[in-house]
Amino acid sequence: MAVAMSRTVAEQGGLRRVGMLVDGAWVDASAGGTIAIEAPGTRAAIASVPRGEAEDIDRAVKAAAAAFPAWSKVPPRERGRLLQKIADAVEGRVEELARIIAEETGNAIRTQARPEAKGSADILRYFGGLAGELKGETIPLGEHVLSYTRREPIGVVGAIIPWNAPVLLGCLKIAPALCAGNTLVLKAAEDAPLGVLWVATIANEFLPKGVLNVVTGYGEEAGAALSIHPGVRKLSFTGSTEVGKLIMRAAADHIVPVSLELGGKSPSIVYPDADENWAVDGIIAAMRFTRQSQSCTAGSRLFLHANIFDSFLAKLADKTQKLKIGDPLDETSDIGAIINAKQFNKVCGYVEEGMKQPGARMLFGGLPPKTGPLSQGYYAIPTVFADAANDWRLAREEIFGPVLVAIRWTEEVDAIAMANDSHYGLAAYVWTHDIGRALRAAHAIEAGWVQVNQGLGQSPGHSYGGVKQSGIGREFSLEGMLDSFTHRKNVTVNLGV
Ligand code: NAI
Ligand code: MG
């Protein structure tokens, strides 16, 4: 039997032992297991969280099911107001959250962790404000009939999130699911659960017990148990395409709707007129070098027109090599550390493969240093392989690390064909002053999101998601909330009786 303990992230000091949130209480795992959380910047253990398993998931799902009837009947704008209060409370302590994110993810505080913390409050506030938009329609079937639809909550949502932007992605499940009247069991990533638990600590001060449950644990244990639990009525997953397929298979057993936000190998197409500094800055941003490129939307295939291939890459080398790699908590660091040893070794493996690839030219970067300060953590070096081919493993697989391949093109039609020759279809970037070309390319590229002349992250309000094996469904928007977290019920009344 689990022991309820009022331990919250905020109360801890030293090697924190943090509980998970089930039915409004902070608890250990039923079986007593724990997972040590490592700071990627130093490889030091900074906390431990419960190793939740099937029994814990079952308790959380039951708590969420028990909380659902009352929560679903709270007037939507009242639910929205609660989310906005949580947003205010998070924003009031945003610096604390930024430090937790930087420490546990290895993402640099100035460039990533602080913007993520602020962005998370924004997401909570944005969806809180949408509560009044959970509207239905009336269907004109004639004067003798009233036919209308209601947007009803689905029930208990099971959501699973990754570690690369854990708090933002957590809030992206919490805010729309709860606003729409569902209750939630959120499985945090085993590599970065602390920021999510911190937000849950705050949310728990405002929400009725059981409405939000956050379970920590491994994917194969807690995550898999959540995906097959018969009490879960909707699955929402963000992470690798490989696990996304498992979630979709699990959902088939109970015919549960799924939303999947999966991987990408997103193309950036640079036209010859964009051989300019702003485009180089944009490529650096799109590649997410300052998040160690651990982003599903990373523009990791750079298609450069042959006429500007060398001059553009020279500027890219110059600017990228000026970025400072170092301690995620240091305000002067631009780039932090890779999340864990497994991902770090995987990224190094791709770099080694590129170095051995016949015909590949390593423009800059390479393997991380084996000695010195950077060897204390999982620090990878931004690396660019020029003269790459679109069929290399490096150009096909999601590396999730700072390894960029540059590919030459001369005809637009070839650039677009190569861009689309991928099983992914998440994001894309087009760089040119010529609006006609830009929009032709934007329309021809198979992706859920195309940016022209910028390489920014998602904003609240914009429907974000992928095509092909990058996923199903949209997030970040009103339509995303309506489609992913409600179902439409039709009521048809004969007025002639
Ligand atoms: P992952 O997809 O295994 O993990 C994401 C989440 O899924 C975590 O919470 C994990 O515990 C859970 N999970 C893992 N196996 C599960 C299972 N069998 N059933 C239910 N839940 C499960 O990602 P991982 O292993 O951390 O990273 C591997 C690769 O995945 C990366 O190199 C990258 O290519 C890709 N990835 C993509 C992300 C994206 O946002 N598109 C985010 C994280 C990883
Ligand atoms: Mg995995």
Burial (CB < 10 A; 0-12, 13-18, 19+), residue 276, is middle
Identify the helix (H) or strand (E) that includes residue 340: none
Of all protein residues, the one whose alpha carbon is nearest to atom 9 of ligand 1 is: 189
Average confidence (pLDDT) over 183-204: 98
Task: Choose among 62, 32, 70, 69: nearest CA to 226.
Answer: 62
Its sign, for the CA torsion 27, 31, 32, 33, is negative
Which of 240, 288, 470 to mutate for ligand 1's pocket (most ligand atoms within 8 Å of CB)? 240
Work out whether strand 34-39 and strand 44-50 pair parallel, antiparallel, or are unpaired. Answer: antiparallel
Task: Choose among 271, 266, 306: nearest CA to 285.
Answer: 266
In this predicted structure, what is the pLDDT of residue 15? 67
What are the pLDDT digits (tens) for 215-244?
999 999 999 999 999 999 999 999 999 999
Rounded distance from Cα 363 to ligand 1 centre (Å): 30
In this predicted structure, what is the pLDDT of residue 105? 98
Of all protein residues, the one whose alpha carbon is nearest to atom 6 of ligand 1 is: 162
Neighbours of 452 (CB within 10 A): 16
Average confidence (pLDDT) over 328-356: 98
Point out the ligand 1 atom lying closest to the alpha carbon of residue 262. Answer: 41
What are the pLDDT digits (tens) for 455-485?
999 999 999 999 999 999 999 999 999 999 9
Rounded distance from Cα 495 to ligand 2 centre (Å): 56
Pocket flag, ligand 1, residue 296 (CB < 6 Å): yes
pLDDT averaged over every residue in the chain: 96
Work out whether strand 486-494 and strand 145-153 pair parallel, antiparallel, or are unpaired. Answer: antiparallel
Domains and their CATH numbers in the chain: 4-262+470-490 (3.40.605.10), 267-459 (3.40.309.10)
What are the pLDDT digits (tens) for 47-73?
999 999 999 999 999 999 999 999 999
- 195: pLDDT strictly greater than 80: yes
Which of 243, 294, 342, 468 to mutate for ligand 1's pocket (most ligand atoms within 8 Å of CB)? 243
Q: Which residues contact 187 (CB under 8 A, 6 or more apart)?
A: 52, 57, 158, 159, 160, 161, 215, 216, 217, 219, 222, 223, 226
Work out whether strand 403-409 and strand 183-187 pair parallel, antiparallel, or are unpaired. Answer: unpaired
Alpha-carbon gap, residue 375 to 371, rounded angstroms: 5
In this predicted structure, what is the pLDDT of residue 279? 98
- 8: pLDDT strictly greater than 90: no
In this predicted structure, what is the pLDDT of residue 6? 39
Burial (CB < 10 A; 0-12, 13-18, 19+), residue 383, is buried
Pocket flag, ligand 1, residue 282 (CB < 6 Å): no
Tell me the β-bridge partners of 329: none
3-state secondary structure (DSSP) of residue 447:
coil
Contact predicate 211/178, CB 8 Å:
yes
In this predicted structure, what is the pLDDT of residue 10? 41
Contact predicate 77/132, CB 8 Å:
yes
Q: Which two tokens stand for residue 132?
A: 């009044």
Pocket flag, ligand 1, residue 449 (CB < 6 Å): no
Pocket flag, ligand 1, residue 238 (CB < 6 Å): yes
- 355: pLDDT strictly greater than 70: yes
Task: Choose among 253, 217, 236, 193: nearest CA to 55.
Answer: 217
Task: Choose among 98, 71, 222, 249: nearest CA to 160.
Answer: 222
Closest-approaching ligand to the CA atom of 464: 1
Q: Which residues contact 150 (CB under 8 A, 6 or more apart)?
A: 136, 488, 489, 491
What are the pLDDT digits (tens) for 99-147?
999 999 999 999 999 999 999 999 999 999 999 999 999 999 999 999 9
Q: Which residues contact 242 (CB under 8 A, 6 or more apart)?
A: none
* DSSP characters over 370-432: SSSGGGGTT----EEEES--TTSHHHHS---SSEEEEEEESSHHHHHHHHH-SS--SEEEEE-
Pocket flag, ligand 1, residue 470 (CB < 6 Å): no
- 16: pLDDT strictly greater than 90: no
Pocket flag, ligand 1, residue 162 (CB < 6 Å): yes
Pocket flag, ligand 1, residue 65 (CB < 6 Å): no
Pocket flag, ligand 1, residue 400 (CB < 6 Å): yes
Pocket flag, ligand 1, residue 227 (CB < 6 Å): yes
| Amino acid symbol at 336 | G
Work out whether strand 361-364 and strand 212-215 pair parallel, antiparallel, or are unpaired. Answer: unpaired
- 74: pLDDT strictly greater than 90: yes
Q: Which residues contact 305 (CB under 8 A, 6 or more apart)?
A: 270, 271, 272, 408, 409, 410, 415
In this predicted structure, what is the pLDDT of residue 78? 98
Average confidence (pLDDT) over 275-285: 98
Q: What are the residue numbers of the active site? A: 261, 296
Q: Which residues contact 74 (CB under 8 A, 6 or more apart)?
A: 181
Q: Which two tokens stand for residue 483?
A: 């489609």
Q: Indicate the angle between helix axes 277-286 and 309-321, nearest 10 degrees.
A: 60
Closest-approaching ligand to the CA atom of 160: 1
Give me the count of residues in the chain: 497
Point out the ligand 1 atom lying closest to the alpha carbon of residue 191. Answer: 26
Of all protein residues, the one whose alpha carbon is nearest to atom 43 of ligand 1 is: 239
Task: Choose among 218, 144, 225, 153: nearest CA to 185.
Answer: 225
Rounded distance from Cα 306 to ligand 1 centre (Å): 36
Neighbours of 59 (CB within 10 A): 19
Alpha-carbon gap, residue 153 to 62, rounded angstroms: 17
